[in-house]
Amino acid sequence: MRRPVVEKLQQFVEKQPMSLHVPGHKNGYFGTLPKALRDSLPYDVTELTGLDDLHAAEGVIAEAQGLLANFYGASSSYFLVNGSTVGNLAMMLAATSPGDHVLVQRNAHKSVFHALELAHVTPIFITPEWDHRTETAAHVTLTGIQQAFAQFPTIRAVALTTPTYFGVASDLVEIVEFCHQQQVPVLVDEAHGAHFQGSDYFPLSALESGADVVVQSAHKSLPAMTMGSYMHYNSELVSQNRLEHALRMLQSSSPSYPIMASLDDARAYLASFTARDYHHLMDKRSLFLDSLQGLPGLDVVEVDDPLKLLVRIGQHAGHQVRDALEKQGVYVELAHGQHVLWMLPLLKYGEDYRFAELRSRVKRACEALKSVRPQALPVVTAVTANQLTQLEVPLEVVERSKGEWISYTKAIGRTAKGAIIPYPPGIPLLVPGERFTVKTLVQLEECLMGKAAFQGEHRLAERQVYVLEETKK
Ligand SMILES: Cc1ncc(COP(=O)(O)O)c(C=O)c1O
């Protein structure tokens, strides 16, 4: 299978060229990095003759992006070198104008909220349905979207996320059809679903469902390097010129060739994924799951995405399970409530993944946990679906207003100036302009008890949050 960027880079490196150009490591000649890392630096080149330019692609990068679009069934596809983060920013900037109403699934990644801020739009948040298997917020429904349009006929774009971080996928076909009838584009953050295109057995992808612009973190489920993502465009409602302009503004003018090569390689890997590969993957996965049966206290929740497993060990909190596994040298994607999330590799026929070794380590962790007292966690609060909310205070007002630090126990009724983002998964508990409610406080307590890490603007170690100063009456 052709891999234009990989092939061209390889030819270039084999010529043992001498560098009188950036980057300063001169093909790895200078620097004190560990040898294995330094050895890869000859591939870390720049826009040299024959290597094309991501921002004005007409050679090997254009060819590779063409193969990508062809495989995913998009009219155009783009390599992203700053993750799905930059894709979420670019598609929002391209599809909206300042002041527009945008309908946004509330359990979106923080990059979607940053996109709303950058685009100066007015978000209308919609709560998704609760998924009882995983005890997480999942997807919005067609009814919810229709109600939102009935209440806000001025919605100009819809931003959805599927699958969720926890591998719950949704069918977008009817939602996209409905939005298109309203002449409104659907932007989909499919960061966790780049592999769905690889097999009819995987859930239906957002592009197959007719979405206008889709971003995918190739680095999450495909064998691509961190930060390597794809953006696909298939729209009569979003301007392609604006999308490309946004990407030119937001991405580095020196995009990484190793990342682009890995994106080219990952596309070829997925495009050659066959039904035989799928059955092999599922056989290996079943054998692994069978081998885990009988390990003391271990329970597995399977979700729509076969690469994700939610694992629970006895009554232990997720962070206790994570710590026990880490002591055995096993690192999980995240700990959440009572679970840890495992991500399996997209195996192909003939490939294996040290499952026997993994099982032995998991067994040792289960045994070690027997002598650890389980930390009791509160029952997780389910969200109520189809609730529409707006920011209490518009973002531009939040930006120019003064803030103050207060104890979070006194924050109910106050408006957030700083975001509180449990990370991972990176879905904000509260964004600037939203009001602290009793529910926010309960969810925050749940996260703190679950030993979540946080991003955003907060001092949670001192139990403080950043809110708008109260105006004196
Ligand atoms: C749903 C979702 N969207 C977007 C992102 C951002 O992706 P990236 O890390 O590729 O920038 C993430 C990252 O975890 C995510 O979970």
The pair phi, psi for residue 264, each rounded to 5°, is -65, -45
Rounded mean pLDDT, 329-333: 98
Ligand 1 centroid distance, CA of 82 (Å): 10
The atom number, within ligand 1, closest to the CA of 88 reads 4
221 lines ligand 1 (CB under 6 A): no
Instruction: Point out which residues pair with 229 in neighbouring strands.
Output: 80
Per the CB < 8 A criterion, the answer to whether 115 and 123 are in contact is no
27 lines ligand 1 (CB under 6 A): no
- Nearest alpha carbon to residue 129 among 106, 101, 150: 106
Ligand 1 centroid distance, CA of 470 (Å): 34
Tokens of 412: 């109910």
Ligand 1 centroid distance, CA of 113 (Å): 12
Indicate the top mutation candidate among 82, 109, 113, 187 to test ligand 1's pocket, ranked by most ligand atoms within 8 A of CB: 109
Residue 131, helix vs strand vs coil = strand
List, in order of start, the domains of the chain with CATH numbers: 4-99+142-271 (3.40.640.10), 275-369 (3.90.1150.150), 392-468 (3.90.100.10)
Question: Taking the chain, what is the end-to-end CA distance rounded to the nearest angstrom?
Answer: 70
| Cα 414 → chain centroid | 30
**Chain segment 63-89, per-residue pLDDT in tens:** 999 999 999 999 999 999 999 999 999
**Chain segment 96-155, per-residue pLDDT in tens:** 999 999 999 999 999 999 999 999 999 999 999 999 999 899 999 999 999 999 999 999
- Nearest alpha carbon to residue 466 among 393, 420, 404: 404
pTM for the predicted model, two decimal places = 0.96
pLDDT of the residue at 351: 96
Q: pLDDT: is 458 or 37 the higher one?
A: 37
Q: What is the dihedral of CA 200, 224, 246, 139, to 10 degrees?
A: 40
**Chain segment 249-304, per-residue pLDDT in tens:** 999 999 999 999 999 999 999 999 999 999 999 999 999 999 999 999 999 999 99
Q: Give the contacts of 15 (CB within 8 A, at least 6 positions apart).
A: none
Ligand 1 centroid distance, CA of 164 (Å): 10
Tokens of 430: 């509260």
164 lines ligand 1 (CB under 6 A): no
Tokens of 342: 């495992």
